[in-house]
Amino acid sequence: MSQEVEPKTGRRFAQSLDWNLLRIFCSIESAGGLSEAARQLNKGQPAVSMALRRLEETLNTSLCKRGPGGFELTLTGKLIADVSREVFSSVSNIPNILNQAAEELGGRVRLQMITNLVHDRLNRPLGAFHADHPNVELFISIATWDVIQRNVLRNEVEIGIGPASQHLPDLRYEPLFCEYYAPYCGRSHALYGRRLSSPGELSGHAYILTGADEPLELTKFRQRWRLGKRVAGLSEHLEEAKRLTELGAGICFLPTAFAANGVKDGSLHQLLNIEKLPESKIFLITNPKAPDHPASKTLIEYFRNEIKG
């Protein structure tokens, strides 16, 4: 006596089902018949008929009616067609899911830049990157330009932002924006409120210097006009140099964008009335030989798009 085989259900059914039969049945339903489905699938009609028959045998039910009245799905066939469309809609979405997963970057990107950079061409790429990839941690540290180059070269940071008096052959330098420097003094300084037409008029005064953080172009400008011979203060951090300037300790060359708020509230006064101010190019500094790092590579492209735009 033969033993009755229990019908496969649930996981057992799914594992035993030939999913390709559902794909062919989807084509039969959307094409409205076997002949058109065979043409669209580039198969012979017998092969399509065989696939339909195998699916009906697997499901142990009739899925369509074929006769003089034409092709028509049974009620069960319509239900199976709906399920098949959902299955293949989900399968078709797999590439989009993979692309989305690829875009969901994580980890940390290490940036190092000189102190108190103020510019939209720095802020826009960082803001857009964070909005698109919120799972990436942006770690920003401050250093002088020579330290930044050294750390990028050693792969201790992925991205450097700053001036570069010397370009190292193994690094890539891409101009991001320019900073313009002007001399400022505080309210209690004797020159507060005056606008001078020549840098030479500032040569006898005491200065707040910014040390290794001072760009080469500014150093040359000061030396040309003999500015900074008397030193009243020194700080490589612009915030502290600005503090000493606001207290009236001396004159300090500061980036105009950085000093703008101080000028607006009256705590700083710009002394020179000249069009040609010392300028410093700020570079995006990267190491082309650095290990592959998807998050930093993506952020670098955001900066490059800003440069191109």
- Would you state the pLDDT for residue 55? 87
Which structural domains are found in the chain, ordered by start?
A: 10-92 (1.10.10.10), 109-171+285-308 (3.40.190.10), 178-280 (3.40.190.290)
Is pLDDT above 90 for 304?
A: yes
| Cα–Cα distance measured from residue 263 to residue 279, given in angstroms and rounded to the nearest whole number | 19
Q: Considering the chain, what percentage of its residues have pLDDT values greater than 70?
A: 92
Tens digit of each residue's pLDDT (9 = 90 or more) over 131-181: 999 999 999 999 988 999 999 999 999 999 999 988 999 999 999 999 999
- Would you state the pLDDT for residue 49? 87
Strand partners, 283: 162, 175
> In the structure, what pLDDT confidence band is assigned to residue 292 with cuts at 50, 70 and 90?
confident
> In the structure, what pLDDT confidence band is assigned to residue 29 with cuts at 50, 70 and 90?
confident
- Average pLDDT for residues 98-104, to the nearest whole number? 57
97-104 own/partner pairs: CB under 8 Å, 24+ apart: 103/132, 103/133, 104/133, 104/135
Phi, psi of 114 (to 5 degrees): -70, 165
Give alpha helix (H) positions in 9-119: 10-16, 19-31, 34-41, 45-59, 75-92, 94-103
Which one has a higher pLDDT value, 59 or 249? 249
Those residues whose C-beta lies under 8 Å from the C-beta of residue 42, and which sit 6 or more positions away, are: none
Six-digit token pair at 81?
């067609």
Query: Which amino acid makes up residue 78?
Result: K
Give which of 109, 113, 111 is closest to 282, Cα–Cα. Answer: 113
128-134 own/partner pairs: CB under 8 Å, 24+ apart: 128/302, 129/298, 129/299, 129/302, 132/103, 133/103, 133/104, 133/105, 133/295, 133/298
The length of the chain in residues reads 309
Which one has a higher pLDDT value, 58 or 284? 284
